[in-house]
Amino acid sequence: MKIMRPLGAVGIVASAALVLAACGSDPAASNSSNSSSAAAPAATGTAQVDCGGKSPLSGEGSTAQNNAIDVFKLAYGKQCSGQQVNYTASGSGAGVKQFNGNQVDFGGTDSPATGADLEAANKRCASPAWNIPMVVGPVAVGYHLSGVDKLVLTPSVIAKIFSGGITKWNDPAIKAVKGNESFTFPDKAIQVVSRSDESGTTDNFQKYLGAAAKADWTKGAGKKFNGGVGNGASGSNGVATTVKGADGSITYVEGAFAKDGVTPALIDSGSGGVALSAENVAKSLDSATFLNAGSNDLALDLNKIYASNVAGAYPLLLTTYELVCSKYSNPDVSKAVKAFLTTSATTGQQQLSSKGYVPIPQSLQDKVLTAIKAIS
C-alpha cells in the first residue's frame, strides 16, 4: 500500500537549502509569518558502500515511511546490484515487536524505541540497539469543513478538540484564533478521527500536545490514542479516507495525506499561523537535540521543537527510525544492513521531497553515517 504521496495541495515549498524538487507553491500553503533565515542544508551526495551480505534483507513497521522505503530500495538495488529488501508496512508497534522478536532484521518506527521496548531490543541484539533517524515528515491536523479553506488552530484549541473540550465548530475558542475571523463556522459537531491501531504518529501527536499545550492535554502520550473521543480508523490511509467522506471531521495524519478533501490547518504557536511545508518543517529542525547525547542511538528529543514558537517554524513533525542492532550475530545481516542504510542516508535522500518528505539536514546525516559505520 502506498502510504506517502506528494504533498500536492499542501504545497512543498521549494528551497535551495533543502534541495527540494520544484513543486510550485499553493496560496493556502504560504506562511503568514515567514522567516528569511536559511534552512539547514539537506543531506546530499553519496558514500562508499560495501555491498553484499544477506538478501533479501527484512524489515517491518512504520506505514508513514513506506514510500520512502520504496525509494531507498530502488537506490539500494542500483548501488548494490542484486541486493533486495522486503519491507512490510504494518505500523510502528508491529515493527518494534517483530524486531524484538527477532523476526526481521530492522524495525521501522515513527517514534524511537525507549523504555521496555528498547530493553527488549537490547536483549534481542545481545548488544545495544540503536534508533537511526532516516525519514522526516510533517504531521497535519487535517480537517474537512465546507466553507473553511484556511483554518488556523492553536495548540490549546487542538488539545481541547482531541480531548473533547471543544465539540462544535462554532465554539468561540475556534473563532477567536487570529486568522479565523472571516469564517462563519457552522453549528456542527466536530467528528474526531484517530488511529485505531498502535501508531508512532499517534505517539508523536500526543507528545506534541503534551509539550505545546500542557494545561489542556493531560492524556499523556503513547502509540494508542488517549483522547477518549471520536472514532478510530486503521492506518494513515484509513483516517484520511474517513475524513474525506465526513464533513465536519478532523484528524492527525502524515502531511502527504492532507490533500484531496483533507485540508491541513495552519498552526499558531504564538508567532502567527504557520503552514505545513517542507521549508517550515526544516526551520523547526534547527532546535533538535538528542535523548542520548554522545551516543550512536540517535533518538531525537523533539520536545523543544514541539513547544517552540519560532516564527515561520512548523512544529508538528515526526521522524521515522530504523531500529537496528549495534552488533548482529550474523555478519551477513550486519553487512547488508550497513549497505542499505548507508545508501538510504545518502543517494536515497535525494528523491524524498517528491514523495512528501523532508530530506534529513546535513548535520543529522553526518551523525547518521557515523552510527551506521559503527554497526558490526
Residue 221, annotated as binding a ligand: no
Residue 213, annotated as binding a ligand: no
Residue 110, annotated as binding a ligand: yes
222-227: long-range contacts at Cβ-Cβ below 8 A with a sequence spacing of 24 or more?
223/92, 223/93, 223/111, 223/198, 223/199, 224/198, 225/194, 225/195, 225/196, 227/162, 227/163, 227/164, 227/192, 227/194
Instruction: Write out the H or E segment, with its range, that includes residue 158.
Output: helix 155-162
Q: List b or e across 183-195, with b for residues whose CB sees 16 or more CB atoms inside 10 angstroms.
A: bebeeeebbbbbb
187 three-state secondary structure: coil
Residue 64, annotated as binding a ligand: yes
Residue 200, annotated as binding a ligand: yes
End-to-end CA distance of the chain: 32
Give the Cα separation of 360 and 345 in Å (integer).
8
Residue 201, annotated as binding a ligand: yes
CB 325 within 8 A of CB 118: no
Please enumerate, by residue number, every residue annotated as part of a binding site: 62-64, 92, 110, 199-201
Please enumerate, by residue number, every residue annotated as part of a binding site for phosphate: 62-64, 92, 110, 199-201
